[in-house]
Structure 1
């Protein structure tokens, strides 16, 4: 048996096999998020060229700029695993690549959440009253966080505590 053999609980795999499995799983997750954020950013970029954009008040233009920057940052973070992998490919760094790609993906998801919330704020401010827009956006934020992050954090803590 090799020195770096550390099987995951319930699995009998080498460090490299585990990294390969985790990499494949991560790629599937990133593909979904990348597609969504790229489509969202594309739509956001076209907004500035619509006739109604000129009618936006300064606060709404500022929200738009923040939204586009958040979308660009999310896109960068969610594409980062690809460039990271390409640069270190062939240097036997798959386990490290998986760790960094996972970090970039989590940051990208948080930035995607911020992009969605900011876009909702902009749209709802244009469509309904500012006060109602803020409450609806806050509700959406709670909903997204409740779906994307809270269950995973709860399961991790509960599992860690049980061990």
Structure 2
């Protein structure tokens, strides 16, 4: 059935919903990225193996890319505001947000890998990280896509 709304009203509603979603994700990204930026300045950093330093660098770059993707919709909105392209802006902002979520998954994965490698030095770390990534995939993508498929009316 759907809502009785114009294209502009639909774009406005979708924009507000998208910004709320971004706020949730961005808070976690900001905390994680802020933490990651401080690690290199700790005495322990010099004691990391080259592999762990490489994982750290990849993690920081992923965190920076995640931040960019999740802040991108705000910049997009600001630069196109008043140009009568809100439906298109919402579509592109949604795409950037999805990319941001995928990058967040990668950032969380590499962060967890680094932390558990440094904390435990055990061979089970890759299996534990894989289990957590599977959990993220189920929560972030499988359940939403299943819900979308199961409950979307034709």
Between the aligned partners of 2:128 and 2:23, the Cα distance in structure 1 is 29
Show the counterpart of 1:38.
Answer: 30
Larger Rg: 1
1:126 equivalent in alignment to 2:118: yes
Per-residue Cα deviation, 1:44-95 (whole angstroms, up to 9, x for no partner): 0000000000000000000000000000000000000000011111101110
Q: 1:149 aligns with which of 127, 131, 141?
A: 141
Show the counterpart of 2:96.
Answer: 104
SS in 2 for 1:91: coil
TM-score of the two chains, using structure 2 as the length reference: 0.96
Show the counterpart of 1:55.
Answer: 47
1:84 equivalent in alignment to 2:76: yes
Provide the aligned length of Structure 1 versus Structure 2: 154
SS in 2 for 1:127: helix
Q: CA deviation at 1:10?
A: 2.5
1:116 equivalent in alignment to 2:108: yes
Stretches of structure 2 that go unaligned for 5 or more consecutive residues are none
Q: 2:129 aligns with which of 128, 137, 146?
A: 137
Between the aligned partners of 2:34 and 2:119, the Cα distance in structure 1 is 21
Q: Structure 1: which 4+ aligned runs deviate by more than 3 Å?
A: none
Show the counterpart of 1:16.
Answer: 8
Stretches of structure 1 that go unaligned for 5 or more consecutive residues are 1-8
RMSD of aligned alpha carbons: 1.1
Between the aligned partners of 2:2 and 2:26, the Cα distance in structure 1 is 31
Per-residue Cα deviation, 1:129-148 (whole angstroms, up to 9, x for no partner): 34211011000000111111
1:73 equivalent in alignment to 2:73: no
